[in-house]
Amino acid sequence: MKKVITYGTYDLLHVGHINLLRRARELGDYLIVVLSTDEFNSIKNKKAYHSYEDRKIILEAIKYVDEVLPEYTWEQKIQDVVDNDVNVFVMGNDWEGKFDFLKEYCEVVYLPRTEGISTTKIKGDLHK
């Protein structure tokens, strides 16, 4: 079985998120999404509208997602890859090169973002 892993906050779910999850799942047989906890988002100076628990329930309902795990720190990625026998690490291409250190453990793929949509844009549009 070929396992794929990706990371994110996945707040205010939109088509860009779905596109990333679908394309990530197409790279293997099993998709693990590691979801930033509320505490980790606080460390990153990010504020999610939905709680970790609600974001986890939403992700688990998506047909491309096989498993959702918590993200507590930036440093846990190597351990997550090793512990879960991951073959492919996937992130959006806005992170290009940032996770190349994982190439020692698995294939690293940066997927293009969906043009014209982001959680930041949605939040900005709602404030207009």
Separation CA 54–CA 61 (nearest Å) = 11
Asked if residue 39 lies in contact with residue 70, where contact means CB atoms within 8 angstroms, the answer is no
Long-range Cβ pairs for the range 108-117 (8 Å, 24+): 109/27, 111/20, 111/23, 111/24, 113/16, 113/20, 114/15, 114/16, 114/19, 114/20, 117/14, 117/15, 117/16
Residues with catalytic function: 44, 46
